[in-house]
A and B are shown apart, each in its own frame.
Chain A
């Protein structure tokens, strides 16, 4: 622990570094604790008793790893000046937990404007337990089943339709190629390439952080799946014209035109006008 906190505080000069260290410490102890206590393999049966056990296990994990920000009952923590420290998790549903914890966004490494994707701290089973516990706090979106987001056998028409939905609802923040974009105040809309279909689906369903919600009643499950299918088809499609230079639009193109194009051609101009080697014969010092 000392090693960990020393490294952290050296790196983070933020006044919140202490909080972050505390969080990490809690997580670490939580992780070790669960590793030692949960030796029995998870049973995937849907019986009530098993669910109870899962929720209980989730609650334990929650108290250790999440309660400091989200409150002991997941009711959220409000700071003295009235601002939200950790939001209430009542009614966010299992899908939100699966997305936040599964992509490593939660638990936060440190408070900041935005929680970024990082390697997850909990394994799949622990994430399931946490999700089950949070779902027990209040009704919310459930984790989608593979049939809802799997794009293995959608036809081309669905891909085209997905493109329409994508350009209408998603490109404004996430860019035409899913390369991500800027938001106010140092936030950003993350890249969509290389993201698992399940998480894209859950993000639309739950609206993590600043992202708006696209509920199933308004953006139907099959429409969500079409969007994912379109994204995946873009990802799989070859880069027809060559290196995409980040697929960020004309800014990177302009940069390459200057650096590669003008830079290269000026070098050629220097070569054309440069004087060739002179013979020693007839030269004088």
Chain B
């Protein structure tokens, strides 16, 4: 060692080989300081915390299989005559992109498998991001200090969808060309700039011969680079903030309880990577996805029934389908509301809402505390109901995007589905909101009842005057604590409008709105009982039990509730 002064040996023991390597690196990188805390970093254990991991591992699979595909894929729209081994298309003129996709599928061993794994992993990547985001939303994990990580997640989702669309367009088959044509229509609908955007994107008129090479570099370099950087930031923030956890005995806002990174999470998360990869490989082996050879090469005069985008674009497709045909013609200019609203405005609003939601909710609640304990969905009835309403809307639009397939498979009338959806997207989400909200509040009530009055034992008691009651027993201390380990919500109350000098308070109207929203948001929520209420209820329950114990019933109740070990427990006589 360089800094040895010669009086003591540099190392007390002869280092092991690994130790030697580690020392070599630490001398140059200082990794010990950087990693000493991370090696045994604690992660809480819950299945819903692994949903984001599915997305992460799908992304890794996409990188691996994507690199494999680039070894043969030719991102060119130059025309060639296909002479490969797929008979039904041999001798046809087609773009090099499509020909090389066929080449990968039929003349490279494992090529079709890699293509299918890549496509399945892409579908799972975005789907997993969705379910992960839903988990974060339902549990309030986006609250301070994690708002920025939520925003990064939203950007990842948006980029993931763009990345998927770019990839869908690359093989230059009939479906991908149709998708690009629709994208061209969307661009043209932009007021003022539309035609220029379209001509610049396609290098002239649709389809041109540059869009695939351009999308290729976007697909393999630009967006993956951004995704990697944002995923890195996402993970760093996760490490810095430490993971959220569910409330429970010993699990507080000040700590995180779980298993260490090494070895448990290294094995669990690493193992999960292999499972995700294995599952996508099995899907690639058994389920045919995007059979480009059946679609045929892109031809601007051809189209197929069932022309649909991949699932994550289904919502935009549904909106496009059910939108009425509105257009404005003014002073020699055209505004195509029928395309511009569903294709450009609506996605902007949706993503805007997603990115801003944590800030909106924080403004309504006025909550400036840090939150590391998760909320059960029922304990935030309005938030939960809001997401349920959004999921309903999403599902409806999704179904609308596949209305022709629904019509064929379920023998329905295509036009009626469209009419139904036009009304349903305005009626069903509010309905879902109301139902989910009431549902959450009743679950809160039932929690409160359990906490204050105990659980139902199934033992029916008849009192001397003939009244039947069910005997309740108190729940365990652990459960009581878990039920009450949550914050109280505070309704933002409007202070009097004027101070003592009769000068109106600033931001009066804004505060009024906030107070109204806050009342709507929190007024109906059931808050946990105070200590006095709890003690009183406990006292009452004990009294009840004492009363009943005088009555000669052989069972106290716990024998039948299925949650106690009753072996060797004799019924009292």
Contact = CB atoms under 8 A, between A and B. Distances in A.
A274 B47 contact: yes
Contact of B415 (A185, A252, A268): A185
B272 A243 contact: no
Given A182-B404, A234-B88, A254-B311, A174 B305 contact: yes
Interface string A241-269: 11111111111111111101110111011
B369 interface: no
A44 B302 CA distance: 44
Contacts of B338: none
B291 interface: yes
Interface string A167-180: 11001111111011
B22 interface: no
A261 B283 contact: yes
Looking at A159, A180, A265, A274, which has the most chain B CB atoms within 10 Å of its CB?
A265
A247 B306 CA distance: 9
A242 B285 contact: yes
Contacts, number: 207
Interface string A121-158: 00000000000000000000000000000000000110
A76 to B, nearest CB: 26
Looking at B53, B89, B92, B405, which has the most chain A CB atoms within 10 Å of its CB?
B405
A273 B280 CA distance: 21
Contacts of A174: 305
A186 B407 contact: yes
Contacts of A256: 283, 287
Contact of A233 (B87, B289, B295, B402): B87
Given A245-B287, A272-B268, A261 B124 contact: yes
A269 B88 contact: no
Nearest to B57: A265
B364 to A, nearest CB: 31
A269 B302 contact: no
Interface in A177-235: 177, 179-186, 188-189, 230, 233-234
A237 interface: yes
A102 B217 CA distance: 55
A242 B131 CA distance: 27
Contacts of A254: 123, 310-312, 314
Given A250-B175, A250-B310, A265-B54, A156 B87 contact: yes
Nearest to B310: A250
B413 A186 contact: yes
B119 to A, nearest CB: 8
A160 B124 contact: no
B454 to A, nearest CB: 18
Contacts of B208: none
A36 interface: no
B304 A171 contact: yes
B88 A230 contact: yes
Contact of B305 (A173, A250, A274): A173
B93 to A, nearest CB: 10
Nearest to B307: A249
B306 A179 contact: yes
B414 A265 contact: no
A240 B294 CA distance: 11
A4 interface: no
A197 to B, nearest CB: 17
B279 interface: yes
Contacts of A269: 47-48, 50-51, 53-54, 272
Looking at B120, B284, B294, B296, which has the most chain A CB atoms within 10 Å of its CB?
B294
A270 interface: yes
A39 interface: no
A17 to B, nearest CB: 19
Contact of B306 (A176, A233, A265, A273): A176
Nearest to B48: A269
A175 B268 contact: no
A43 interface: no
A266 B51 contact: yes
A146 B284 CA distance: 41
Nearest to B54: A265
Contact of A180 (B290, B312, B408): B408
Given A168-B302, A264-B279, A176 B47 contact: no
Contact of A265 (B105, B175, B275): B275
Nearest to B416: A186
B306 A175 contact: yes
A253 B402 CA distance: 12
B124 A240 contact: no
Contact of A172 (B46, B272, B291, B305): B305
A163 interface: yes
A206 to B, nearest CB: 21
Nearest to A174: B305
B394 to A, nearest CB: 12
A266 to B, nearest CB: 7
B174 A244 contact: no
B49 A273 contact: yes
Interface string B405-441: 1011101111110000000000000000000000000
B131 to A, nearest CB: 6
B127 interface: yes
Contacts of A176: 174, 294-296, 304-306
Contacts of B106: 240
Contacts of B384: none
B407 A272 contact: no
A157 B91 contact: yes
A251 B291 contact: no
A251 B405 contact: yes
Contacts of B45: 273
A274 B415 CA distance: 47
A236 to B, nearest CB: 11
A181 B311 contact: no
A234 B294 contact: yes
B565 interface: yes
A277 interface: no
A35 interface: no
Nearest to A237: B88
A188 B407 CA distance: 8
B270 to A, nearest CB: 11
B34 interface: no
Contacts of A75: none
Given A173-B305, A186-B413, A265 B89 contact: no
A257 B311 contact: yes
A211 to B, nearest CB: 13
A249 B307 CA distance: 7
Given A163-B89, A241-B287, A245-B287, A171 B310 contact: no
Of all A-B residue pairs in the complex, the 3 with the closest CB atoms, nearest first, are A254-B311, A181-B305, A241-B288
26 contacts: A160-B89, A171-B305, A182-B408, A188-B407, A233-B87, A239-B288, A240-B291, A241-B112, A241-B288, A243-B287, A245-B288, A248-B409, A249-B308, A250-B311, A251-B401, A256-B283, A256-B287, A257-B311, A260-B283, A261-B123, A262-B131, A269-B54, A272-B47, A273-B49, A273-B50, A274-B47
Given A182-B414, A249-B175, 6 more contacts: A181-B305, A184-B414, A233-B87, A260-B287, A261-B283, A273-B47
